[in-house]
Amino acid sequence: MAGLILGIETSCDETAAAVVAGGRQILSNVISSQIELHRPFGGVVPELASRNHLENISLIIEEALAAAGITWEDLDGIAVTYGPGLVGALLVGVTVAKAIAFARRIPLVGVNHLEGHIFSNFLAHPQLEPPFVALVVSGGHTDLLQVLDYGQYRPLGQTRDDAAGEAFDKVARVLGLGYPGGPQIDAVAREGNPEAISFPRAVIKDAPLDFSFSGVKTAVLNYLNRARQRGEAIDTADVAASFQAAVVEVLVERTLAAAAQCGVDRVAVCGGVAANSALRSLFQERSAGTGIEVLYPPLVLCTDNAAMIASVGYYRLQAGHTAPLNLNAVANLPLESWG
């Protein structure tokens, strides 16, 4: 089969629909971002997110089909994110996907959002095949895992507290850099000295591939409070660059250590923080001469999109995994193997 899959993604603050052929070829990728809607609140307001998804989803889906130059009859399946994420936001995508699957008699596939991020690298790199090590680093997750096969995962490490993207967003807020914080810190840090301030790199005893970012976040807060109390000038660019260096260094070191430990020569980085320029350059620097190749999706596939969801949907459908029409949203859906 041509394997034309419509993907739908509404887990957080992007309303997205996409059409992907054969799990790898993007025919359309429509994303409507709610960033401007949430900006005045400094973060995603769940109730606003759900309502906005509801207003936009039908139009976004129609746009995705039109841009792909296909009709409903051409579709072989419909894939939707059913977790993890904001339950009210997820429910919009899940409900719409079920209605379409029922009305058009198209197979429905439920997709884990995290798995979608991993598959964004299959869209970007046609030659990529498992096994490899994946670093999923976003606003909600920081996970290291070995991808043994399509849909077969071995957890290697995870954050004990904040996700890396969450730390970026919180530190950006206390620095007055606005929302979303990751891209702002990335930009401001270019003007700063990453060695100006030594922020902690947390090591987890007995779990060398786990992460913790709440300590570095608190250290930035303490540094700012102390400087303000003493009436000292704060160099925002230096603080941003030094914080970013601390986060990026542990991500890069632990990911390369995981690859060496698993004996794989490829690493696929994904999720919103994979867009970070310091992360990319440090990966390049530290992987040089190790024989390990580090892959990323292009920026538009790093952050939330529906093409990655359609890609997972294709492989799951190939393996015979369809979802029943009573599929529900699961806010804290764990990543489980199916392959």
Interacting residues toward ligand KG4 by CB under 6 A? 12, 138-140, 165, 168-169, 180-183, 186, 271-273, 275-276, 303-304
Min. distance of Cβ 197 from Zn ion in angstroms? 30
Q: Which residues pair with 269 in a beta bridge?
A: 135
Q: CB 165 → Zn ion: shortest distance, Å?
A: 9
Q: Closest Cα to residue 64, out of 4, 24, 105, 11? A: 4
Shortest gap between Cβ of 11 and ligand KG4 (angstroms)?
7
Nearer CB in complex with ligand KG4: 91/275: 275
The contact set with Zn ion (CB under 5 A) reads 138, 304
Residue 4 or 137 having the CB closest to ligand KG4: 137
What does 130 bind: ligand KG4, Zn ion, none (CB cut-off 5 to 8 Å by kind)? none
Indicate the Cα dihedral angle 325, 326, 331, 333, nearest 10°.
Answer: -70
Partner whose binding site includes residue 317, from Zn ion, ligand KG4, none (CB under 5 to 8 Å by kind): none
**Beta carbon nearer to ligand KG4, 121 or 138:** 138
Q: How far is the CB of 65 from ligand KG4 (least distance, A)?
A: 24
CA angle 243, 244, 250 (to 5 degrees): 100
Q: How far is the CB of 168 from ligand KG4 (least distance, A)?
A: 4
DSSP alpha helices (H): ranges in the chain? 35-38, 46-68, 87-104, 113-124, 164-174, 181-189, 214-229, 236-262, 277-287, 299-302, 307-318
Which CB atom, from 157 or from 271, has the smaller least distance to Zn ion? Answer: 271
Instruction: Provide the residue type at 148 as one letter.
Output: L
Kindly list the distances between the CA atom of residue 109 and the CA atoms of 63, 221, 264, in Å, as whole numbers in the listed order: 21, 43, 30
8-state DSSP, 331: T
In the bound state with ligand KG4, the residue whose beta carbon lies nearer, of 150 and 213, is 213
Please name which of 118, 53, 109 lies closest in space to residue 86, comparing C-alpha atoms.
53
| Smallest gap from residue 180 Cβ to ligand KG4 (A) | 4
Given the complex with ligand KG4, which of 3 and 157 has the nearer CB atom? 157
Q: Is the dihedral of CA 263, 266, 271, 276 positive or negative?
A: positive
Q: Select the binding partner of residue 297 from ligand KG4, Zn ion, none (C-beta < 5 to 8 A, by kind).
A: none
